Each structure stands twice: as structure tokens, then as C-alpha cells.
Structure 1
Amino acid sequence: MVSLQAVRANNSALKELGPGLVAVFVGGTSGIGESTAREFARNTDSPRVYLVGRNQAEATRITQELQKLNPEGKFHFIKSDLSLLRNVDVACKEIQAKEEKINLLFLSCGYLTMKGREETPEGLDRKFSLNYYARMRFAQNLLPQLSAASQSNTLSRVVSVLDPNARGSLVLDDLSLKTHFSLSNCATHACTMNNLAVEELAATNPGISFVHAFPGLVKTGVTRGYGPILQTGMAALFVLLKPFTVPLGESGERHLYAATSKTFSPKSKPEESAAVGSTGEKGSGAYWLNWNGDPYGGVPAKMKGYQEKGIGKQVWEHTQDVFQKVCQEGGKY
């Protein structure tokens, strides 16, 4: 476990990276995204921060608070329904028009729900799109800006917050779950495909590091998709589980550590202190992290099997096929 003292020491040293770091927080108007953005603003010198989400009122509150935390910083909000990949493209173009370099892309968009498949006009389940496809579309679109930051020998990282400890098995002939949808399958596919995607991206973009992080049990607004009865039940459950929860403020500190520590260095620039990545190689550029900042020890047998069979390439080819049909052709998957 990475101590909170070590986390804070890392975060407090971020000003040494110099002024003008640029960060994009996708899902930054609530929960872990908001908390991490707050820590980024607190610990950096004259940052430029973009929050992307749906809630204008919350975004106004947050950007005003961040401005008070760091009067020299610039804080922007981009309003967008990110369950639609074409909206992701619009948001990315807005950011790219303003920024040549991006140091951090932090992806935490999503929500919990007990509803079944909610198909978007693009032919994807809304939950699945937020937890996987939209995140990977952001990562792919912003690779030029992330690469430019890497070439300047400064921080260049993508962090996706979900759960690397994926359970269940992929339905390989129905990766988008058109005909095999269930809440369990959706969770398995989103988590496993995040795991494999960060490995594929790290392999082809060695100057950028990619992290898939488990947040632990954190009380956020992620249950907003539940009905009032279930929300009440979840609130009661959090009371019972309070001794095992991660406070939201601490979660933000820990995720900023995951987003900035040299321990999770890119493959082309391995630090002496680099952690062992998801492939079992020190400094591999792709890292699966537990809530406490530790890399998951050992590769689970199922994930190792996927790695050995090259399933990551199949997942990434499928992802590109979705992007082609929806974003390039303007159709429905």
C-alpha cells in the first residue's frame, strides 16, 4: 500500500514540473473526477483544466471553487452527453483547437444502474459506451496532444477509473453485447476491455503511460441512475460499510498520485522506480492499480490467457470498427 504520506509528498512536488500543465477530466463534474481535478488544481502551477460532462450548474460551482484554489489557473467546462461518440468527437475538437499539448487525460465518466440495455442512437448500450467506448475515443482522439507533451519530456498520461480486477469471461463473438447483454456481462466487458485497451495503447504509444485504476468503495454520485428506493438502500449500505470506504478527498489525492507518479512511467522512458506493469514487465507503460496505488500483483489466469492469445488486438480492432461505423460513417453499430 502506498502511504498517504507518500501520496501527498508526490502531489506537493508537482509544481516542480513547471507552469501550464494541461489536464482533461472526463466526468469531472462529480465524484472522483471532481475530487481529482480539485487536487490537481491545488498542487500545480498555473494549470489549464478542462472538465467535460453534462451538469452545467455543478460545473459552474466547481470551476469557481478551482479558481479560488489556484487563481493563476484556467478552468473550462465543456457540456456534452458523452454516451454518444459523435459528441465525444465534438468535445475533443474544442479542446484541440485550444491546446497543442495535453499532460493528463483522466477518464471517470459513467454511472451505476439496475436497468437493462439502454441502446443509444448509435447502437451501443449507454452504460457500456460511457465506461468503455467513450473513454477510448477520448484517448484515441487526443493522442497527438498527449504525444506532444511526451516529446517535451513532461508528464503524459491517461487514467481510466473502473476496475482492473475483471470477473467473468468475454463473449468474443459479441463484444458490444448486442445479443448477450446482462448487467454482469456489461461489467465484465467494460472492465476487461479497459484492461486490454490500455495495454494496446501503451504498446503503440510508448511515450505515454496508461493506467486502469480501481477506486475502491467511494461514496460518489455514481448511483444517480438508481430509483429512489435503491438510492435509499445504497445510502444505508454506505453507512454500514463506512469503515471500509475511501473518503472522497483521499480518493482524489490517491488518483492524482496514480495520474502523476513517476512510478507509472511510459515504456520509452522507464524510471528506476518504475512499477511492474500489467504484462509483468517493469515499466511496461500499462498499469492496473488497486485503490491504494499498488499495482495488482500477478496477472490473473484469465487475463494472462487473453494476453497470450492476443485478445487485446481483437478487442482493439472491434473498438476501431465501432468508431468507423459510428464516427467516420455517421451510422449505427
Structure 2
Amino acid sequence: MVNLLPLLRNAAGLRRVVTMLAGTKEGVVHTDDLQMRQSSLLSLAGRGHLVSMTTLALKAVARTAPTVSFVHTFPGAVRTNLGSDVEGLSGAVFRSIFRILFFVVGPFVVTPFDEAGERHVFFATSARFREGGVPLPKDMAVARGTHGSGVYSIDNHAESAPPRVEQLFAKLREDGTAKKVWSDVEEQFVRVTGSMSI
């Protein structure tokens, strides 16, 4: 994404990046374990940490590209082939548990593929996330970003992050965590590629 910023900044039309992970599910950032070597993605704490790191990275990039909107989405439960390639007993157990879960609760919580795709086309093209894009219906308001940052954290119902998330980011900004996270991301870019851009 960092390498595409010059093209995005100079685009004649809509300037937007849509990232799909778990927008609105942000949580506490563990500054002593930014790389998540001691955390698990299977835990809510691990998920919250990773999601916050993602949104914080988007906010850092957005500061250098004020004309670009960044939308971090949570698609909800979409039945995919996630985990289908996990081998052995643990893979079989994982697949069995998810088959049962999708059979029992799937009809109530699963977002169909087509709808998930339509939502993300909307996120990428509508005027809901800054000016430009496809005009909104009269009953739909522009989404709330965090203090005009150009970053929008959106849930599986296309709603903006609740006040809890906005308060969390205010705290992360005030206590220096946001800067620490981006500094770590930059260090990892350099460690892996030898420079800040590829």
C-alpha cells in the first residue's frame, strides 16, 4: 500500500483503500508483544491487538495521504475455505467444528458471498467515506471517521465504529502507542526489504 500511495494521491478519480479484516473489533495493543510472538490470533485479545495494529497503520499512512480514504471493514461471518488446507488431526477437528457451527448458527449469522462482495464494492465506491463516489440515498449519512483522519472502521452492518473504539484510539494516540506501532511497522519493512518501500 505504501508503494501505491503516489499513484493514489495523483488519481484523477476516487482515492480509496479498502482493507478487510475486522474493523470495529479493535482492542488493547500489547506494546511488549507487537509482533504477537506470545499472543494467539484465536483469542479475542489477540484479535483486538492485530485489528488495532492494522487500523493504526492505516491512520499513519493516511497522515501522508490526506486526499485518500482508508476503510477498514469487518465482513462478518462469510463461509470460506479458511482452514481447509490444515492437515492432520487438528485440521480434521477444526473443519468438523466449523461445519457444525455453520450448520447450526450459519443461517442466522453468515453473510452470503454475493452480499459481502456487494458491500465491499459499496465501501470502495460510495460517497459514504468522504466526498466523491456514488451519491448516497437520502436516508444515509456520511460515515464517521476518527477526528477527520480519513480512516473509517466499519462493521458487518456497514456502521461506523462505536464510541468505545474512538475512545480507544484517542488513548492510543495520547499514550504514544500509535507512534510506537508505526515505528515498529517501519522497522519491519526495513528489516525485510532493506528500505521503507519496495
What range is the shorter-chain TM-score in?
A: 0.7 to 0.9
Tell me the distance in 2 between the aligned counterparts of 1:239 and 1:328: 47
CA drift at 1:304 = 3.0
Is the CA contact (8 Å cut-off) linking 2:20 and 2:73 kept in structure 1? Answer: yes
Does residue 318 of the first structure (1) align with residue 184 of the second (2)? yes
Query: Does the residue aligned with 1:191 lie in a helix, a strand or coil?
Result: helix
Alpha carbons 1:209, 1:264 under 8 Å: kept: yes
Match of residue 230, structure 1, among 94, 107, 116 = 94
TM-score by length of 1: 0.50
Matches within 5 A, 1:66-105: none
2:103 partner amino acid: V
Identity %: 33
Shift of 1:262: 1.1
Q: How does 1:170-185 map to 2 (within 5 A)?
A: 170-178=29-37, 180-183=38-41, 184=43
Q: Does 1:274 align with 2:138?
A: no
Runs of 5+ in structure 2 lacking a partner? none
Q: Which amino acid counterpart does residue 258 of structure 1 have in structure 2?
A: F
The answer to whether residue 67 in structure 2 is matched with residue 201 in structure 1 is no
CA RMSD in angstroms, aligned pairs only: 2.5
Asked if residue 240 in structure 1 is aligned to residue 119 in structure 2, the reply is no
Instruction: Give the TM-score taking structure 2 as reference length.
Output: 0.81
The amino acid that maps onto 2:154 is: L
The aligned amino acid for 1:292 is H
Listed one character per residue, the Cα deviations across residues 273-325 of structure 1 (whole Å, up to 9, x for unaligned) are: 63210x244xx411000112111232434333113324222211110000001
Report the secondary structure of 1:193's partner residue: helix
| 163, 169, 193: which one aligns with 2:28 | 169
| SS, match of residue 159 in structure 1 | strand
**Any idea what the Cα deviations from partners look like across 1:85-125, whole Å, max 9, x if unmatched?**
xxxxxxxxxxxxxxxxxxxxxxxxxxxxxxxxxxxxxxxxx
CA distance in 2, matches of 1:158, 1:280: 18
Q: Does 1:260 align with 2:119?
A: no
- Report if the CA contact (8 A) 1:201-1:210 is conserved: no
Instruction: Tell me the secondary structure at the aligned position of residue 264 of structure 1.
Output: coil
Q: Give the 4+ runs in structure 1 shifted more than 4 A.
A: none
Taking the aligned partners of 1:222 and 1:211, their CA distance within structure 2 comes to 23
- Does the 8 Å contact 1:211/1:286 carry over to 2? yes
Q: 1:297 to 1:166 in 2, by over 3 A?
A: closer
Q: Does 1:298 align with 2:163?
A: yes
**Secondary structure class of the residue paired with 2:19:** strand
Quick one: distance in 2 between partners of 1:223 and 1:203?
A: 36
Q: 1:297 & 1:188 partners in 2: Cα distance?
A: 14
Which of 1 and 2 has higher RCO (CA within 8 Å, sep 6+)?
Answer: 2
Q: Give the structure 2 partner of residue 216 of structure 1.
A: 76
Looking at structure 2, the residues matched to 199 and 218 of structure 1 have their Cα atoms a distance apart, in angstroms, of 26
What CA distance in whole angstroms lies between the structure 2 residues aligned with 1:309 and 1:274? Answer: 29
The whole-number CA distance in structure 2 between the counterparts of 1:167 and 1:148 is 31
3-state secondary structure, aligned to 2:31: coil
SS at the partner of 1:288?
A: strand
**How many residues are paired up?**
182
Counterpart Cα distance in 1 of 2:120 and 2:189: 28
